[in-house]
Structure 1
Amino acid sequence: MQTAIGILRRWCCPQRAGTAELMSVRAGILLSFQRALWDMVTPSLRAVVVRPEGPVIRARFVYDLVPTEYEREIVSEVETYVISDFDASFDVHFEAEYLPMEIVRVAAPDEWWVYRRLEPDMLSEETE
């Protein structure tokens, strides 16, 4: 039986991991974030994106204002919850970043959206 660790270690060589295995790892990471984000979303949080890199899980918490010390503590707490879902061979690196509302949120091709809030530019004129 393959472990999530073994599958993620092969992340850089996806030809060695089957599609079902990668989907299973993706689901595990996303479910971990879903639980970790309970009661952690502040009004200024625009998005959270995750990028697994082998045994490392990286995440960006994107805020519409410069993240406060409290928000940085929240990111650290979410990081703690996520790392507790994986064994000691995993490492996590989460960061809080500022992205003004004038700049569109974009996930890199190797990143997955974990959370995206509804923003004014996403609303159609019909709903106003």
Structure 2
Amino acid sequence: MEIDQRIRLLLSSQRALLDAVTPNIRAVRCAHKGNIIFIEFIFEADFSEEDFDRCEVVATEVISDYSDAMIDTRFTVLPPPACIPHDESSVTVYRRFEQFDA
């Protein structure tokens, strides 16, 4: 991802996340590949309809910043203490603090 494209995606995603992050969300990752924007919401437990609706609003706000792109929204449930795997192809736009006993 080009640096300008990365900055644009970060700003768009972080703006869209304002007032949308619920306690159930562990992380949010985004990627821009070709004309598709991928957004992945990683939850700690099964998500509610309200969680789903909030995430869809976030996705809509992000895609509204791009006139020629499509959106692919993904919802992943990954309960703690499982580590969130690193993904080289995306950028993390939100990650909550988590401290686990070793």
TM-score (normalised: structure 1):
0.74
Give the distance between the partners of 1:79 and 1:59, measured in 2 at CA.
7
- Following TM superposition, the consecutive aligned residue runs of length 4 or more in structure 1 with deviations greater than 6 angstroms are none
Structure 1 position 98 matched with structure 2 position 77? yes
Higher RCO (C-alpha 8 Å, min separation 6): 2
Question: Is the 8 Å Cα contact of residues 83 and 90 (structure 1) preserved in structure 2?
Answer: yes
Question: Is the 8 Å Cα contact of residues 67 and 97 (structure 1) preserved in structure 2?
Answer: no
Give the distance between the partners of 1:42 and 1:96, measured in 2 at CA.
14
Report the counterpart of residue 44 of structure 2 in structure 1: 64
Give the distance between the partners of 1:27 and 1:79, measured in 2 at CA.
17
Q: Where do residues 9-48 of structure 1 align in structure 2 (5 Å cutoff)?
A: 22-48=2-28
Structure 2 gaps of 5+ residues are: none
Give the distance between the partners of 2:74 and 2:47, measured in 1 at CA.
10
Provide the aligned length of Structure 1 versus Structure 2: 101
Larger radius of gyration between Structure 1 and Structure 2: 1
Q: Give identity over the alignment, percent.
A: 32
Deviation of residue 45 (structure 1)?
Answer: 0.6
Give the distance between the partners of 1:78 and 1:26, measured in 2 at CA.
17
Greater helix share, structure number: 1
Report the counterpart of residue 86 of structure 1 in structure 2: 66
